[in-house]
A and B are shown apart, each in its own frame.
Chain A
Amino acid sequence: MAENPRKPKPPTDVFTPWEDPAAKPLIEFRNVTKRFGEFVAIDDLTIDIYEREFFALLGPSGCGKTTMMRMLAGFESPSAGEILLGGKSMVGIPPNERPVNMMFQSYALFPHLSVWDNIAFGLRRDKKSKSAIAARVDEMLRLTRLEQFARRKPHQISGGQRQRVALARSLAKAPKLLLLDEPLGALDRKLREETQFELMDIQEKTGTTFVIVTHDQEEAMTVASRIAVMEHGKVMQVDTPAKVYEMPNSVYVADFIGDVNLIEGVFSRPAPETCQITYDESEPPIHLDATPGIAEGARVTYAIRPEKIRVSADRPDDLANAAFGKIIDIGYLGDISTYHVELANGQMVKAAMTNSTRVSRREFTWDDEVWLSWRETAGVVLDH
């Protein structure tokens, strides 16, 4: 029997070790708590990170992501719980004896050493032969395209080059795990975007597990295989970027990642297979597809991304939901335009449309009355 060519690839080819119950995680946080005096930086946290993952810890400053990273590196030890690396407990093992290297936010390049000596620093600690060190340093210089800067001191190279030296230095020892603390924070936007792809490329080439700490959600979405969204020392959600974006499990995550409309209302099931949310007496309810697990009459928040909402002059008849309103504001961002539309009841809704054609005149303008429409599956219902 010939295989159907359109049959999807078997899931084992896709890199999803977290879905494989037989896979052994590289890093295990087991009920880890970290207190600084009264302040609880990490609150009973359990998380698994797998080999070859590019794992992002995402959250606002003070959420505990840096503390988690410093515990992995060995600069802080947990107040309770335990961290395992490759199945071995890391309790009491000092930073210099861990197969973990870190790329510091400030890069922490040694100012008195040349680029070459900075990269060789860790290798020399391992008492490797001179030729082995030289070969490895040259390999790292090639990998990060720094060959012609080898003899310079850190203050004689640009910010982007320094960032690459820091990366090369932390990769030189071929650590099992590389920690990156806001690695791109000091770079300007354009360079940051380029470097994100470079990082992914290097991660793939070296097969190293990367854990990155960042407060920049776009960065996390771009580079990571999975993202842990953190808040107040707790992990709110761990998932792939697409899942975190499309299926946030809480109002916090929905709001933190990307732009979102949050509409509060009451959930009901008028018929067994239809669900809806009533948010205002004067507006029609929002129709949903089957949403199990939520009680009749529960107060919920409906989260819908602006790009899921279509703006049109006439009432469309192909979509389940429609609302009428007036354009209050237009934000033109080049690739997309964002419309702030006020519904009759005063509710503001953001809708984004891609500017797929060059137009000399905008399709809609201020004070235009428009219809907003979206599918049953466009949003998510978040229980309170």
Chain B
Amino acid sequence: MRRIALIALPYLWLLALFFVPFLIVLKISLSDTALAIPPYAPTLDLSEGWAGIRDWWSGLDFENYVFLTTDSLYWKAYLSSLKIAVISTAITLLVGYPIAYGMSRARDEWRPTLLMLVILPFWTSFLIRVYAWKAILAQEGFLNQVLIGLGVISEPLTILNTNTAVYIGIVYTYLPFMVLPLYAALEKLDDSLLEAAEDLGCTRMKAFWLITIPLSMQGIVAGSFLVFIPVMGEFVIPTLLGGSDTLMIGKVLWEEFFSNRDWPVASAVAIVLLAILIFPIVLFLKNEEKQWESDT
């Protein structure tokens, strides 16, 4: 009996607050916009019985999805999000790998401290860490002051409110998500494997490519997905650091919902985003499962 309760409690919670909401989003994405509360039609009226259900069902259509394809704003936003997510994931990997590698090769007594130093920013407010870059990247901000002070540049650089600022913000805030799985994978790497590779004729560089990289692949995959997937739907970073030409689908969804109050279109945007992400999400979960199996 207790086992059933133990399973049922989280199960029902997730069904009610995770699964059902998706069905509702799906349903509303098939509805029409209406000047009403709630602002969509048709609504299901069970008091009319079977006829009510039939009316409701016949009122659903794919109009919103068709609309998404006709207005270039949407597919441009999807493509732009995809581009930003891919590029920033790649940069985060390039920045994160040497850090994780350095941590895993550090002396034993240093490693807990380094790990703490990487995790600490992760505990601090995400919003505040993004906001911090506003003061650094602004026209009269910290970075320009330093660069002008050093005589590197004479005119302040315009970085804030451009896509460059968005990339910096993403790489910065998502760096711990990349470093931690990489570190977990690299820490397990047995030094004698690298020595064996050298012994068999590899230079250090070659041993890195042939042994270290393949053996940290699960960390690379996990870290990349942990960055790529949430960045696809990112709203805060493009809003705070990006400019008017920064187009990301998370921002579009937000505006569609809060500014235009077009719930059915916002829902359709969400469903399409989810459809794009379902593949990487499943891959990510599969990778985690594989890691789990190899660990046990």
Contacts and interface: CB of A to CB of B under 8 A. Distances in A.
Interface string A89-125: 0000011110011101110101110000000011001
Contacts of A96: 198-203
B211 A106 contact: no
Interface in B189-227: 190, 192-193, 195-203, 206, 210-211, 214-215, 217
B211 A125 contact: no
Given A110-B211, A112-B214, A95 B190 contact: no
B195 A75 contact: yes
A104 B192 CA distance: 7
B198 A108 contact: no
A95 B215 contact: no
A101 B197 CA distance: 10
B233 to A, nearest CB: 33
Given A111-B215, A112-B214, A125-B206, A169 B200 contact: yes
B196 A104 contact: yes
Secondary structure of the B contact surface, majority rule: helix
A169 B192 CA distance: 14
B198 A94 contact: yes
Contact of B200 (A94, A106, A112, A122): A122
A141 interface: no
A73 B199 contact: yes
Contacts of A305: none
Give the interface size bracket for B toward A: 10 to 19
A121 B192 CA distance: 15
Contacts of A317: none
A97 B217 CA distance: 28
B192 A95 contact: no
A64 B215 CA distance: 31
A108 B190 contact: yes
Contacts of B206: 125
Contacts of A105: 192
A104 B193 CA distance: 9
Interface in A103-153: 104-106, 108, 110-112, 121-122, 125-126
A276 B98 CA distance: 72
Interface string B84-127: 00000000000000000000000000000000000000000000
Interface in B179-197: 190, 192-193, 195-197
Contact of B202 (A102, A125, A173): A125
Interface in A168-201: 169-170, 173
B214 A102 contact: no
Contact of A108 (B195, B201, B210, B217): B195
B190 A121 contact: no
A110 B201 contact: no
A95 B198 contact: yes
A112 B213 CA distance: 11
Interface in A281-329: none
A97 B200 CA distance: 9
Nearest to B195: A75
Contacts of B192: 104-106, 108
B193 A108 contact: yes
Contacts of B195: 73, 75, 95, 102, 104, 108
Nearest to B196: A108
A90 B215 CA distance: 31
A122 B196 CA distance: 9
Given A125-B202, A170-B199, A173-B201, 9 more contacts: A96-B198, A96-B199, A105-B192, A106-B192, A121-B200, A122-B200, A126-B201, A169-B196, A170-B200
- Top-8 shortest CB links A-B: A125-B201, A122-B200, A108-B196, A108-B192, A95-B198, A96-B201, A102-B199, A112-B214
Interface of B: 190, 192-193, 195-203, 206, 210-211, 214-215, 217
19 contacts: A73-B195, A74-B198, A74-B199, A95-B195, A96-B199, A100-B199, A102-B196, A104-B195, A108-B190, A108-B195, A110-B193, A110-B197, A110-B211, A112-B217, A121-B197, A125-B200, A125-B206, A126-B201, A169-B196
